[in-house]
């Protein structure tokens, strides 16, 4: 399999985005802090599961200071349905403590400061910057990583190099929309174990089908 050319990638963008005009962040939130919490909790679980627990979490502990002061056992009880709840409860409490004490309860609009928060990695920081602050960002989750390398947008073995490759080949003003479109396509058509190539709307671009470079 070979990589898509820049021209092919540029043509792929409107084709994929047209398939999913409704594509957007599936996590429910009403503040940037709540978004940060929800994305942190979404690791290795479904957005649906996160959306079930966050109303309880934010109803009881709405602000960073509230979560920072919450008993960890109480946080664990709330987060139990999302999996890895003990680790996530500790990360959530530690992250909230830093936001409350170092940033006066306001999520920092800075990539370096975000990834320095407990439990916050590249993907979480990029989602917060894209959704919370309106920046164009490529957040590479399992769907984006799989599709980018399966389609031929990148040919990389790790998340960081995949992110860097997508930033190079995709138009900057489409980074966030393409992030969402790739996730939707990965969930609905291009699954990990059994991609539905027969009904794929971007099959003509996909290097998995052995299409030659122009």
Active site members: 123, 141
Q: Report long-range pairs for 151-155 (Cβ below 8 Å, ≥24 apart).
A: 151/4, 151/12, 151/190, 151/202, 151/205, 151/206, 151/207, 151/208, 152/1, 152/2, 152/3, 152/4, 152/205, 152/206, 152/207, 152/208, 153/3, 153/4, 153/9, 153/12, 154/3, 155/1, 155/2, 155/3
Query: From residue 87, how far is each of 19, 40, 68, 92, 195 by CA, in Å?
Result: 37, 11, 15, 9, 32
Single out the residue of 148, 146, 123, 153 nearest to residue 38, CA to CA: 123
**How many other C-beta atoms can be found within 10 angstroms of the C-beta atom of residue 80?**
13
Q: Which residues of 188-201 are buried (b: 16+ CB within 10 A; e: fewer)?
A: ebbeeeebeeeebe
Report the distance separating Cα 48 and Cα 158, nearest Å. 26
């Amino acid at each position: 399999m070979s990589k898509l050319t820049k021209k092919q990638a540029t043509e792929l963008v409107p084709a994929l985005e047209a398939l999913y005009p409704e594509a957007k962040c599936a996590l429910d939130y009403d503040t940037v802090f709540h978004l940060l919490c929800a994305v942190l909790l979404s690791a290795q679980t479904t957005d649906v599961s996160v959306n079930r627990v966050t109303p309880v979490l934010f109803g009881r502990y709405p602000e960073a200071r509230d979560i920072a002061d919450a008993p960890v056992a109480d946080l664990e009880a709330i987060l139990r349905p999302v999996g890895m709840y003990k680790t996530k409860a500790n990360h959530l409490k530690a992250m909230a403590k830093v936001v409350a004490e170092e940033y006066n309860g306001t999520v920092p609009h800075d990539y370096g400061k975000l990834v320095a928060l407990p439990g916050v990695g590249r993907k979480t920081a990029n989602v917060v910057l894209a959704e919370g602050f309106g920046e164009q960002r490529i957040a590479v989750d399992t769907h984006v990583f799989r599709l980018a390398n399966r389609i031929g947008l990148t040919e990389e073995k790790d998340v960081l190099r995949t992110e860097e490759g997508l930033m190079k080949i995709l138009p900057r003003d489409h980074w966030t929309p393409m992030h969402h479109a790739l996730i939707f396509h990965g969930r609905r058509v291009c699954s990990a174990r059994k991609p539905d190539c027969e009904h794929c709307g971007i099959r003509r671009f996909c290097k998995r089908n052995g299409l030659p470079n122009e």
